[in-house]
């Protein structure tokens, strides 16, 4: 292939470096599932996105503000002394039951920037497809990390040029497919999201309605439930 002047496959593999894990950030673990196991107790499964989780640690579970204690951590039936960012693990906890938990809840350290419930949040959003006009009062389902919650579109504050990023209309009445905009959402049920720049996985979302992905966006600011 005379047109190709890049590295060989072997050279590319040798140059590859694994991504840096966010172990220095405050703990965020996304709950994917949970089980009550006889003789063991409550086991939560999920991915540690940032920080480090250790046995014996007291944890906070958002958005409900629950507190629990980590008994043990396992990965592939192997006990771990810690679970670092990037790990998909099972965590045996005490202090909470199945009725307290839900997929999409977030585990954090109550002493280090704990995750909290979201009252409302502002976001930058691009409308990919929609048959009509999207106006305030629209209530689609937002998928953010492992959470799926219906959210009320409270306001559309700006229309943004997709190429330059400049605002060209304030407080538009509606947006349509192809528009980029700044919006405010309010969850209709408990939800925990974060600012994209601080916790990327917890700060990007897609909007689903009409059995399709209507829009995608990133969270710019959050009003937390105190």
- Taking only the tens place, the pLDDT of each residue in 130-164 is 999 999 999 999 999 999 999 999 999 999 998 88
Q: Single out the residue in 108, 143, 164 at which a domain terminates.
A: 108
Q: Are residues 156 and 70 in the same domain?
A: no
**Strand (E) positions, the chain?**
28-37, 41-50, 52-53, 58-62, 66-75, 78-79, 83-84, 88-94, 106-108, 118-127, 141-144, 147-160, 167-170, 180-187, 204-209, 212-224
The per-residue pLDDT for 6 is: 78
Residues 101 and 123 in one domain: no
Q: Are residues 169 and 137 in the same domain?
A: yes
Q: Residue 18 domain-assigned?
A: no
pLDDT tens for each residue of 13-49: 777 776 666 778 999 999 999 999 999 999 999 999 9
Task: State whether 101 and 150 are in the same domain.
Answer: no
Return the CATH number at 193.
2.40.30.10
pLDDT of 3 over the 70 cut: yes
H or E element, residue 92:
strand 88-94
Q: Could you tell me if 125 and 103 lie in one domain?
A: no
pLDDT of residue 218: 98
106 vs 12 pLDDT, higher one: 106
What's the pLDDT at 93? Answer: 98
Contacts for 3-7 with beta carbons within 8 Å, 24 or more apart? none
Amino acid 10: pLDDT: 81
| 179 and 99 assigned to the same domain | no
Q: Are 59 and 225 in contact (CB under 8 A)?
A: no
Residue 181 lies in a domain: yes
If asked whether residues 98 and 167 sit together in one domain, one would say no
Asked if residue 91 belongs to a domain, the reply is yes
Q: Is the predicted pLDDT of residue 166 greater than 70, yes or no?
A: yes
Note whether 96 and 153 are same-domain residues.
no
Contacts of 144 (CB under 8 A, 6+ apart): 104, 191, 193, 202, 203, 204, 205, 219
> Per the domain annotation, does 141 fall within a domain?
yes
pLDDT tens digit string along 176-225?
Answer: 999 999 999 999 999 999 999 999 999 999 999 989 999 999 999 999 99
- Supply the range of the domain harboring residue 153: 118-224
- Structural domains counted in the chain: 2
């Amino acid at each position: 292939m005379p047109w190709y002047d890049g590295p060989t496959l072997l050279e590319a593999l040798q140059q590859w470096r694994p991504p840096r894990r966010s172990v220095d950030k405050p703990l965020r673990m996304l709950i994917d599932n949970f089980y009550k196991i006889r003789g063991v107790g409550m086991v939560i499964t999920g991915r540690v996105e940032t920080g480090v989780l250790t046995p014996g640690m007291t944890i906070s579970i958002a958005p409900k503000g629950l507190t629990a204690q980590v008994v043990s951590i396992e990965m592939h039936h192997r006990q771990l002394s810690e679970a670092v960012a990037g790990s998909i693990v099972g965590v045996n906890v005490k202090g909470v039951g199945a009725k307290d938990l839900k997929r999409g809840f977030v585990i954090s350290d109550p002493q280090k920037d704990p995750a909290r419930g979201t009252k409302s949040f502002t976001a930058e959003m691009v409308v990919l497809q929609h048959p009509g006009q999207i106006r305030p009062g629209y209530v689609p389902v937002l998928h953010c990390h492992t959470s799926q919650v219906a959210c009320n579109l409270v306001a559309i504050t700006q229309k943004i040029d997709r190429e330059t990023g400049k605002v060209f209309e304030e407080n538009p009445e509606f947006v349509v497919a192809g528009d980029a905009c700044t919006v405010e959402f309010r969850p209709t049920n408990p939800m925990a999201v974060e600012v994209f720049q601080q916790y990327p996985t917890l700060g990007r979302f897609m909007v689903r309605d009409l059995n399709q992905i209507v829009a995608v966006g990133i969270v710019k600011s959050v009003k937390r439930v105190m």
